[in-house]
Structure 1
Amino acid sequence: MNPRYRFRTFLLELLMIAVAVGFLFPVYALVTLSLKDERQVAAEPLAPPTSPTFDNFSDAWQRASLGSALLNSTVITLASLLALVALGSFAAYFLARCATRLGYRLYVLFLLGIVLPFQLGMIPLFKMFDSMGLLGTYQVLIVFYTGIQLPFTVFLYTGFIRALPSDYANAALIDGATHVQAFTRVVFPLLRPVTGTVLILNAVFVWNDFFTPLLYLGGSARETVPVRIFAFVGQYVSDHGLVFAGLVLAALPVVLAFLVLQRYVISGFASGMKG
């Protein structure tokens, strides 16, 4: 036995296992219930399915019209992420390299955007978007999510850029490149780790948001997955297998995105905290 392995280490391992079980149990319950019919759910709700059925997934897909909802969520999420990466990275490059009072004040202003709750502006924004005729369109949520998540995105990018040596960009500037060329061709390729973090954290927020799409898109053909699932659950609340199958289909895209980008999340977030 390793002499450094003590009883305290054993207790910490047990604690970590208990925490892992606590986090994984809802996932187990969600998947298990989605593979059962109503009779199995009533008899043994949390037991492993003896005869799993995948009919719940096809029924949920058709009855909840998840195809159009997934398309709407995908368009809104991808467009918002593209705007956040483009605007956030370039703004952070200026703030990180601008050693003036103006740059510092602008950075503090962005940090205030993280602290202040966005719910304070929901009613004025609703009236403004209504007067502009944007309610029920993709544009309203893309603009909203870009503005709401931009301070957090700038915060992550700024900390990461400050940790990078400035020699690369300075060499490009000496060779005659503009600041835009130095950023796009030299600096931005080095931002891959934090960009992965920005993508997954913002994607989770945008994809799972329920209140904002309900307020701005409710009743239109542009409803996102959480809004469509909410209406679906209220209609088929007695059919638990169908409901949980719909929830699994709604959560699957963002889970797959996290698995693809997970190695960037911790490294990029930690680098952003250094700033």
Structure 2
Amino acid sequence: MSRLGVQALLWVYAALAFGPLVLVLIGSFRPNADILREPVGLPDSLNFDNYARAWETASLSTYFVNSLTITVASVALCVTVSAMAAYALSRWRFRGRALLAALFISGLMIPAKLGLLPVFYMFQSWGLIDNRIGLVLLYAASGIPFSVFVIMGFMRGMPDELEEAARLDGCDEGRMFVSVVLPVMRPALAVATVFQFAPTWNDFFYPLVLMRSDDKYTVPVGLTRFFGEYAADRATLFAGLVIALVPLAVVFALATKHIISGLTAGMSK
């Protein structure tokens, strides 16, 4: 296929992928009566009343704060543990290193939701049902295998000379990890962050099963109630969907320049 044909297909795909999002964004600024009368159209002005109604009246603020707290905490814990584990498995030589690395990577082959029943009983015995800390621990643990895999792949492409020079300057392992390794590891950390942030923010299953209180639900679960209450108020519904998409757009925008280099790191070896 010619280069022009490939570009045309990519533009068609982009239109199909982003077209509905653009319509939702435009609709979030239009009065509901205009949307019901004419579903596709441009707003007369930028009216933020729909956003205020979705944020305050529809309690989306509570769900948003819950999702943001749980997602940020779980991603931070997951990436921190994964970075330390990947560094040790890539650089240190000790008995059982290969077996331990295989144990981490084997987590990629097991769907996390298959372990829901034992996780539920374990959380019940620990008092973590209807507890945000339980979700943070669950999401962090489920994201570690992939994060370790990505960061280890990046570490294989890092020259050993950086660490050798740091040791000659008197750095211990902790200081070298923080001051030398982590700054170089930023592309891999960005990939791990994005690929952990997106599924955690969008997850509907675990909060529905493990949470009981309405004020502890996350955005995906809260939106289901939102859809039921505001099914006829499409303008408010569109505004709620845009609010739910903002964190994902921000994270992807900030991490885009690191994602490609992080994903392709280590392929030369």
Structure-2-length-normalised TM-score:
0.92
Aligned to 1:63: 57
Q: Give 1:19's aligned residue.
A: 13
1:116 match = 110
Overall identity of the aligned pairs, in %: 34
Q: Deviations over 1:74-100 (max 9, x none)?
A: 221221122112110010011112456
Task: Classify 1:48/1:149 alpha carbon distance in 2 versus 1 (closer, same or farther; 3 Å).
Answer: same
Q: In structure 1, what residue type is equivalent to 2:197?
A: A
Shift of 1:63: 2.2
Shift of 1:220: 4.3
**CA apart distance, 1:50:** 4.0
Aligned length: 269
Deviation digits for residues 172-221 of structure 1 (CA, Å, limit 9, x no counterpart): 33455433332222211211121122222211121111111111124243
Give me the whole-angstrom Cα distance separating, in 2, the residues matched to 1:77 and 1:228.
Answer: 15
Matched with 2:70 is 76
Instruction: Provide, for residues 217-250 of structure 1, a one-character-per-residue CA deviation record: whole Å limited to 9, x for no partner.
Output: 2424322122222211112112111111111111
User: CA separation in 2, counterparts of 1:223 and 1:242?
Assistant: 19
In structure 1, distance between residues paired with 2:247 and 2:131: 22
Partner of 2:237: 243
| Aligned equivalents of 1:173, 1:128: Cα separation in 2 | 43
Tell me the residue number matched to 2:33: 39
Would the alpha carbon gap of residues 177 and 52 (structure 1) be closer, same or farther in structure 2, given more than 3 Å must change?
closer
Q: Match of 1:151?
A: 145
CA 1:251–1:64: 2 relative to 1, 3 Å: same
1:128 aligns with 2:115: no
User: Which segment drifts farther, 71-80 or 146-155?
Assistant: 71-80
Match of 2:256 in 1: 262
TM-score norm. by structure 1 comes to 0.90
Superposed CA RMSD in Å reads 2.1
Gaps of 5+ in 1: 1-6
Structure 2 residue matching 1:48: 3-state secondary structure: coil
> Within 1, Cα distance between the matches of 2:242 and 2:254?
18
Q: Which range moves more in the overlay, 145-154 or 40-49?
A: 40-49
> Which 4+ residue blocks in structure 1 deviate beyond 6 angstroms?
none
Q: Structure 2 CA distance, aligned partners of 1:64 and 1:272?
A: 47
Q: In structure 2, list runs of 5 or more residues that go unmatched.
A: none
**Residue type at the aligned position of 2:146:** F
CA contact (8 A) 2:30 2:42 kept: no
Tell me whether 1:165 sits opposite 2:139 in the alignment.
Answer: no
SS of the residue corresponding to residue 156 of structure 1 reads: helix
- Equivalent residues in 2 for 1:158-197 (5 A)? 158-197=152-191
Query: Could you tell me how far 1:55 is from its partner in structure 2?
Result: 1.6
SS in 1 for 2:96: helix
Give, in whole Å, the separation in 2 of the partners of 1:209 and 1:58. Answer: 25
Cα 1:179/1:43, change in 2 over 3 Å: same
Structural mapping, 1:216-255, within 5 Å: 216-255=210-249
| Aligned mate of 1:95, from 69, 72, 89 | 89
| Counterpart code for 1:63 | T
- Measured after TM superposition, the shift of residue 8 of structure 1 is 2.8
Corresponding residue to 2:205 among 211, 215, 225: 211
Counterpart of 2:99 in structure 1 is 105
**AA matched with 1:87:** V
Q: Distance in 1 between matches of 2:130 and 2:245?
A: 23
Counterpart secondary structure, 1:27: helix
1:86 aligns with 2:89: no
CA distance in 1, matches of 2:214, 2:255: 32
In structure 2, relative to structure 1, the CA distance for the partners of 1:41 and 1:218 (3 Å cut) is farther
* In structure 1, distance between residues paired with 2:48 and 2:179: 48
